[in-house]
Amino acid sequence: MVINTIVAESFSDACDVLEAAEDVSMAVHDLIKQYASEHQRIVFNGNGYSQEWVEEAKRRGLPNIKSMVEAIPALVTDKAIALFGKFGVFTEAELRSRAEIQYEGYAKALNIEARAMIDIASKHIIPAVLRFNRNLSDTVNTMKEAGVEVHVPLEMLRQSSRLLAAAKTSLTKLEEVTDRAAKMQAGQEQAVYYYEAVSKAMEELRVPVDQLEMIVDKEEWPMPSYGDLLFEV
């Protein structure tokens, strides 16, 4: 829809020039030259998914919209309102309604994901790590009594406990920001807060949990690992 409307405007502008030209062939030539000159900065023949292109695009003054929340305002710019209105696609009121729906939908989706993450971490992952640490502690004590070197299991216990503490801290933060976000009035401000605070807290919680998955006994881990999902389906 958006692309077709943009293309329609480009054809419309080109037609206005060509229909008023005395020499159509020359007008086509001049128009191609003009468009190539004006829009050459969007052409990139390297890897468009690389950091190289991110840096090059910034140097060229091109926008780099990193999230859906940051993209939504493009619906209601003066330029967008004029474009969609010109071709009878959307009125300004319809565009603003769609923007509000996008903000609300994003906030609701992030709220569901955050609540699910809180539930999984608090009811499954943390208890599993506690069981693993308890068994590891018993192993360390047994090995000490037997006079065996306990450096390896002791270091594993320390690492697991350190990551468990980090996970609990991140979980508490996620609970706090999610509750705060849910109490905000629906709209742009709430959606931006979900993106900037809640999604960031989710990423912070994932870091220690991903590391714990590599340490905790597979029999104790409460869900399929990445290895299970990739290679044992």
- Structural domain range at position 161: 95-231
pLDDT of residue 227: 76
What does the H/E/C string look like for 55-67? Answer: HHHHHCCCCCCCC
Mean pLDDT of 89-93: 97
Q: Which two tokens stand for residue 107?
A: 């906030």
Domain boundary among 64, 80, 108: 64
Mean pLDDT of 204-216: 95
Q: Is residue 71 included in any domain, yes or no?
A: no
Q: Are residues 195 and 101 in the same domain?
A: yes
Q: Are residues 25 and 112 in the same domain?
A: no
Q: Which two tokens stand for residue 35?
A: 């468009």
DSSP assignments along 173-212, one per residue: HHHHHHHHHHTSPTTHHHHHHIIIIIHHHHHHHHHHHHHH
15, 72, 112, 118, 218 from 82: Cα distances, Å:
19, 16, 36, 44, 58
CA dihedral 160, 210, 53, 9 (to 10 degrees): -150
Q: Is residue 76 included in any domain, yes or no?
A: no
Q: Are residues 55 and 118 in the same domain?
A: no
Tell whether pTM > 0.75.
Answer: yes
What interhelical angle do 151-182 and 126-145 show, nearest 10? 160
Q: Are residues 112 and 220 in the same domain?
A: yes
d(CA 68, CA 175): 23
Summarised one tens digit per residue, pLDDT across range 54-83 is 999 999 999 989 899 999 999 999 999 999
Confidence of residue 225 (pLDDT cuts 50, 70, 90): confident
The length of the chain in residues reads: 233
User: How many structural domains are present in the chain?
Assistant: 2
Q: Is residue 84 included in any domain, yes or no?
A: no
Q: Are residues 126 and 201 in the same domain?
A: yes
Q: Is residue 85 included in any domain, yes or no?
A: no
**Which CATH number characterizes residue 201's domain?**
1.20.120.1560
Mean pLDDT of 23-32: 94
pLDDT of residue 229: 82
Confidence of residue 90 (pLDDT cuts 50, 70, 90): very high
Q: Is residue 77 included in any domain, yes or no?
A: no
Q: Is residue 133 included in any domain, yes or no?
A: yes
Summarised one tens digit per residue, pLDDT across range 154-201 is 999 999 999 999 999 999 999 999 999 999 999 999 999 999 999 999
Confidence of residue 218 (pLDDT cuts 50, 70, 90): confident
What is the overall mean pLDDT for the chain? 94
pLDDT of residue 230: 84
Q: Are residues 114 and 45 in the same domain?
A: no
Q: Are residues 6 and 59 in the same domain?
A: yes
Q: Is residue 226 included in any domain, yes or no?
A: yes
Q: Is residue 81 included in any domain, yes or no?
A: no
Mean pLDDT of 131-147: 92
Q: Are residues 160 and 47 in the same domain?
A: no
d(CA 126, CA 207): 14
Q: Are residues 170 and 217 in the same domain?
A: yes
pLDDT higher than 80, residue 233 = no
Q: Are residues 106 and 161 in the same domain?
A: yes
Q: Checking phi first, is residue 147 left (phi over 0); if not, alpha (psi -120 to 50) or beta?
A: left
Q: Are residues 58 and 106 in the same domain?
A: no
Q: Are residues 15 and 107 in the same domain?
A: no
